[in-house]
Structure 1
Amino acid sequence: MEEAAKVEIVSKNTITPSSPTPSHLQHFKLSLLDQLAPRSFYVPVVLFFSSPSDDDLCFTKISQKLKSSLSQVLTLYYLFCGRFKGGKSNVHVDCNDQGALYLEAKIPVKLSDFLKRNSKLNGIKLFLPLDPYNPKQENDQEHPYIMEVQVTEFSCGSLAIGVCISHYICDGATIASFLQAWSKKAMKQLENDAAADDFSPNMEASLLFQAKEVEINTTSRVMGEKNISTRRFLFSDKSLQELRDKLISEDSYRQPTRVEAVTALIWKSAMEATGGACHHSLMSHAVNIRSRMVPPLPETTIGNLWQQAFSPLMEVDKSKEIKLKDLAMVVRETIKKIDKDYVTKLQGDAIGLFEVLKSLQEVKVLVMEKGVPCYSFSSWIRFGFYEVEFGFGKPIWVCTVGVPIRNVIILMPSKYEDGIEAWVTLNELHMTHFENNQQLLQFASFDY
């Protein structure tokens, strides 16, 4: 792939629902959890597909099927066709069917060549319809579309489907369930299967977590920092099992999950990468609360149904080695904090909400004012991205882009077996030490 290769946008369309949204559904109020989510950026994902084996499935036909099925699924996900209205404390979605943006694009390279290049992580944004972390228009107005899609054809006939949905009403689970619903509509269309499941989204979040008429600011990070870099670290199924076995052998500690083990290893390696400049740190994990509610919510529930679990402040004794097993236990106990009692506080009266927000504010003070590093993790490995099927095969690679904030780690599923891809963003100097950490490299390989 030549460095000068660029994506050419060949068409722009606005896709509207195939049937109008009923008047009683046209005002959608955001939930409290949406208020707590960052409004300024989008949730991005890119799915890469090999060239269809059916010679009749040319790009024009595929794109037409994608547009048609997208229009159909947007009758269910009508929020994504609306526009945000209201002030900071009373934002709602005007579900006016104005539509989602759909771009068709071409790039004069083969998918195989793109995937072979070590610099491919820097090229992923080519396949997204916008910069998810700087979605401003030329006139510096807020981007009007809640959802945008870009379908890109490689010179070999392979495809990339990039989707960006506003984080204000979407988390990783939401974009995954939307892609599943869209693909099911496409398959239903192709197979003419009238009995295919509807995969309708659940809209209960705004009722269960009612928005408050207050401005809430829990941001504890600076977007768009300089001197940061992102690497992708690959953990195979075999290496993950070896890592989990190592944690058991160190103590009578019961076997951790894959996410707990990888989180502990990355956290430990990141702390060591500071070269002793930091003697304390925090770890946080975004926890999907759909299954933690009573009764549990379906995974198709739209919104920001997650909460950030923060570890206690970890003091590092420079005279002693940081024990991996100890960090793994902290990770497990931290994630367990987001339980039904915690969720009940969010749903309850002002006192319960105040208690939750107070703890978030305390973390913000530690990070922003006292300079305590916080390593923030988010796991997408159980969202089923590799099961998305539009009728021309399942994706060969699903990825996101690095968040331009230091100390942020996104865990993605790997294509084969039960591996994990860890997208790690650190200060450039710390990354140099991090990617050479010998214990980390016992279990992971890395990619630029």
Structure 2
Amino acid sequence: MSNATLLQKSRLFPSPRLTAQVSTPLSILDATVARFPPTGAVWLFCAPRPLDTILQPSFVATLNSFPQWAGQLQWSLVRDGGLHTERFGRPMLVHGCDSDPGVEWVISKAAETLDSIVPSALERVVEKATWISTDFPERIFLSDTPLALHNLVDYAGLPGMSVQITDFACGGYAIAVKIAHPLADAQALMVFMHQWAATCRGSAKSPMDPPIFNPGLLDSYAAGNIDGDSADVALVNTARLLPLHRFDWWNDAKDPAFPSFLAPTGENLKPPLLGENSKSLPLSPSTSAPWTTWDLTRPVSHAMLHFTEEQISNLRAIARESPGCRPNISRLDALLAHIWSSINRARNHSDSACDVFLNVTLSARTRVQPPLSDSFIGSPIFLTHIRASGREASALCPGPTASLIRETLTLFTPEKIGAMLHDAAYEMSPQRLWQAFLGDRHTIVTSWLRLNVYDIDFSGSIPRYVHAVMPKMDGCVQVMDSSHEIGGVDITLYLDSLAMARLIQERENSF
């Protein structure tokens, strides 16, 4: 098993540090992702890394534009009759104090060479454009210090962000970053990474605009009055008609199939005075999650599937030629329809009348009016879902499913987003509800397309590989642009090992 030797661990702060406390409630949607795993990625480079006298100062200079990330992520104080940011389960950031935890900075050394850990971009696409990457040693690149609110309780002194630099025996290096999800989604993280890389190279120009940290701006798009004593019933009803799962962490703990190790964080979602009285409270409607369809004891494999630009264009062309297909489906719609159908066939759903679900992560940035900037900092995301029978979702032709995906995404107009934000603002505990699931009948997809992850360049060399840090759980899918060296798109897939073997076999036979 790969290991890394710790050489240095410290905390970094903006320079100069702020001397006045700033307290910022995070947004309505930031609160809903507090239970999510951290946002993170690992960049691996063949060339020697920049000197410490360049890398660390450039990081601090970049942190000056993100001073809140060196502060303390914590829960807001709860005040009866207070603003929507003062209800239970609302996170906030406090920075500018002597007690700020800073950003953790770690330097480590791996005994392995980069070649022994990850093949080159060209090598990854040689064998049927499929790289079986189950053994990729993600753990050695990430700091083991828990982040603030990692268990929804502990935060004092814990950082919201950590960075680890790992040197390889061959002279290459890796930079891994993880950040608490309420602070940043992948897009917000990339705003930071592009700025840091540009600063390190001595360039003042980042391909992304300067960061905008203003959580209240997102909340201003909520319809109606979100600071009143009760929600607007009409707006709530509008929101509840949207395809948004409402799986309940509180009630699911009573399900015999519910994994016992998840119970503590479920309890941590409850207001302190709630205890066993949750049944007597006017909780919003919810659904029990299908725990019997997710066996967490089964081994999960990891693979990267590469698609060329030509293959993706062909998928869209085939989809658009199918009867009744929407003319406005995108390349991503067609690609997701293809990969989801492959997963469903691998799970043996081809003859099933049971519903299966594609849970898609969406950003609210482009779905409000006027749109938020691409450099808006936070986690303004939510998950919708596409539902179909196993038989329908296993079809070889991507057209009907791609149309269903596009039809679902068009539901989220600025008006519907406003109603959704209004509804979420009044949730008793935003982390109680989960808008997605995993296991045999669910797939979660997250897109990092157009974030230019392979353009991160600290010293004049492109990354050999960019690894998105995702939960190693059955049904987790991530999409990103490939290295410029090969072009196209990479799909990172975590799937039950038996299903993965069937998917890879079908993929090899199709080439």
Shift of 1:68: 0.6
Shift of 1:269: 1.5
TM-score for both structures, normalised by structure 1: 0.80
1:388 paired to 2:456: yes
1:6 paired to 2:3: yes
SS in 2 for 1:298: coil
For 2:366 and 2:199, locate their aligned partners in 1 and report how far apart those are by CA, in whole Å: 26
1:299 paired to 2:374: yes
User: Could you tell me whether the CA contact under 8 Å between 1:43 and 1:132 is conserved in 2?
Assistant: no
1:404: which partner in 2?
472
1:162: which partner in 2?
176
1:413: which partner in 2?
481
User: Could you tell me whether the CA contact under 8 Å between 2:353 and 2:389 is conserved in 1?
Assistant: no
1:89: which partner in 2?
89
User: Could you tell me whether the CA contact under 8 Å between 1:125 and 1:401 is conserved in 2?
Assistant: no
1:31 paired to 2:27: yes
2:362: which partner in 1?
287
1:98 paired to 2:101: yes
For 1:32 and 1:422, locate their aligned partners in 2 and report how far apart those are by CA, in whole Å: 30
Shift of 1:429: 2.9
Q: Equivalent pairs: percent with the same residue? A: 19
User: Could you tell me whether the CA contact under 8 Å between 2:3 and 2:110 is conserved in 1?
Assistant: yes
State the AA in 2 paired with 1:303.
G
Shift of 1:404: 2.9
1:147: which partner in 2?
161
SS in 1 for 2:356: strand
SS in 2 for 1:161: strand
State the AA in 2 paired with 1:425.
Y
CA distance 1:196–1:414, shift in 2 (3 Å)? closer
CA distance 1:17–1:428, shift in 2 (3 Å)? same
Equivalent of 1:65 in 44, 48, 54: 54
User: Could you tell me whether the CA contact under 8 Å between 1:41 and 1:134 is conserved in 2?
Assistant: no
User: Could you tell me whether the CA contact under 8 Å between 2:74 and 2:148 is conserved in 1?
Assistant: no
1:122 paired to 2:191: no
2:16: which partner in 1?
19
1:232: which partner in 2?
304
CA distance 1:399–1:321, shift in 2 (3 Å)? closer
Within 5 A, what are the aligned runs for 1:338-357? 338-348=412-422, 350=423
CA distance 1:278–1:205, shift in 2 (3 Å)? farther
Shift of 1:175: 0.8
2:345: which partner in 1?
272
Shift of 1:392: 3.3
1:51: which partner in 2?
47
For 2:16 and 2:331, locate their aligned partners in 1 and report how far apart those are by CA, in whole Å: 43
SS in 1 for 2:296: coil
SS in 1 for 2:43: strand
Cα offsets for 1:193-243 (capped at 9, x unmatched): 6x98995311223343178899x9866698993313322211122322232
Within 5 A, what are the aligned runs for 1:169-318? 169-187=183-201, 190=202, 199-209=209-219, 225-227=296-298, 228-251=300-323, 253=325, 254=327, 256-276=329-349, 279-311=354-386, 313-317=387-391
CA distance 1:363–1:303, shift in 2 (3 Å)? closer
Shift of 1:122: 2.8
SS in 1 for 2:136: helix
Which of 174-183 and 106-115 deviates more?
Answer: 106-115
Shift of 1:184: 2.4
Structure 2: gaps of 5 or more residues: 77-87, 120-130, 221-225, 231-245, 250-288
For 1:83 and 1:133, locate their aligned partners in 2 and report how far apart those are by CA, in whole Å: 10
CA distance 1:272–1:69, shift in 2 (3 Å)? same
CA distance 1:375–1:197, shift in 2 (3 Å)? closer
CA distance 1:170–1:23, shift in 2 (3 Å)? same
For 1:185 and 1:300, locate their aligned partners in 2 and report how far apart those are by CA, in whole Å: 17
For 1:221 and 1:128, locate their aligned partners in 2 and report how far apart those are by CA, in whole Å: 32
Shift of 1:304: 1.0
For 2:383 and 2:402, locate their aligned partners in 1 and report how far apart those are by CA, in whole Å: 17
2:405: which partner in 1?
331
Q: CA RMSD in A?
A: 3.8
1:79: which partner in 2?
68
Structure 1: gaps of 5 or more residues: 53-58, 444-448
Shift of 1:385: 1.4
CA distance 1:169–1:102, shift in 2 (3 Å)? same
Shift of 1:244: 2.2
For 2:403 and 2:103, locate their aligned partners in 1 and report how far apart those are by CA, in whole Å: 44
2:506: which partner in 1?
437
User: Could you tell me whether the CA contact under 8 Å between 1:49 and 1:158 is conserved in 2?
Assistant: yes
State the AA in 2 paired with 1:341.
E
